[in-house]
Amino acid sequence: MKKFFLVIAFLSMVLHAQAQLFSKERLANLETFDNRFLSWGYFLGLNQYDFKLEYENQNTDFDTDILVDAQMGFNVGLIGDLRINRYMNLRLEPGIYFTQRNLIFPGFEEDKDKIREVKSTYIHVPLLLKLSTKRINNFKPFIVMGISRSINLASNEKNPEDNFEGKFRMTRGTGYYELGFGIDLYLYYFKFSPSIRGVFASSNELVPDDDPNSPWTSNISALQTRGIFLNFTFQ
């Protein structure tokens, strides 16, 4: 439902941009903006992180699966943009991302054993290639793709306590692949760019419990973050 909200919010912006595209207005804002070799900005946004889980012994019974309750989070960061040519830009977008996921483990009666709140604060640094179309009036669609690295400040990786003491542990550093699309809107004083982007972890992030027969982690072969970002960029 929350992902549906993110998509609807983005689509409403697309419809607004289409209205501008097909209007009779031909006055171009910030006509020379894209000629800059370097430009700077910042972004604000929403995020929803999830987990992809793989099991040692896969069971077709859904009652044995670990459930993930993904919460809405928010993010803020800076942008550095380097112009390669008319249609290509290289972007660095360091930011801080706050999020929470709740893991619900089967086979437990009490919430203190069943539920693990995984609160994360990520320092997230993506390096992205932005591919744009030709600008039409004050409107220019684009796609972005690239790789990123994050540091999870709340990972508990070095914590000697594990799930037996109520602590769920993840690796501190993670790499990702990213892919998304958006629209550049050239306003009178600045460029506004809403975008939506998917992120997919490239490695296993689980730090297993010390007990190899742990009822929480023994059946997990891989736990990988995946997420969706809705960012609003100002340049």
At residue 7, the pLDDT reads 47
154 vs 16, which has greater pLDDT?
154
- Based on its alpha-carbon atoms, the radius of gyration of the chain, rounded to whole angstroms, reads 21
At residue 11, the pLDDT reads 47
Identify the band that residue 57 occupies on the pLDDT scale cut at 50, 70 and 90: confident
Q: Give per-residue pLDDT as tens, 184-210.
A: 999 989 999 999 999 999 999 999 999
At residue 56, the pLDDT reads 86
Local structure of 76: helix, strand or coil? strand
At residue 62, the pLDDT reads 52
Whole-model pTM: value is 0.84
Residues in the chain: 235
Local structure of 42: helix, strand or coil? strand
Contact 86, 51 (CB under 8 A): no
Contact 210, 161 (CB under 8 A): no
Q: Give per-residue pLDDT as tens, 110-145.
A: 999 999 999 999 999 999 999 999 998 898 999 999
| Single-letter amino acid, residue 1 | M
Identify the band that residue 149 occupies on the pLDDT scale cut at 50, 70 and 90: very high
At residue 215, the pLDDT reads 92
CA distance 141 to 118: 35
Local structure of 33: helix, strand or coil? helix
Q: Give per-residue pLDDT as tens, 73-93.
A: 999 999 999 999 999 999 999
Residue 18 pLDDT > 70, yes or no? Answer: no
pLDDT > 90: percent of the chain: 75
24 vs 82, which has greater pLDDT?
82
Residue 31 pLDDT > 60, yes or no? Answer: yes
CA distance 45 to 73: 9
At residue 163, the pLDDT reads 95
Q: Where do the structural domains in the chain lie, given as residue ranges?
A: 2-23+36-234
Contact 226, 32 (CB under 8 A): no
CATH number of 2-23+36-234: 2.40.160.20
At residue 25, the pLDDT reads 52
- The residue with tokens 């960012």 is 231
At residue 33, the pLDDT reads 84
| Single-letter amino acid, residue 193 | S
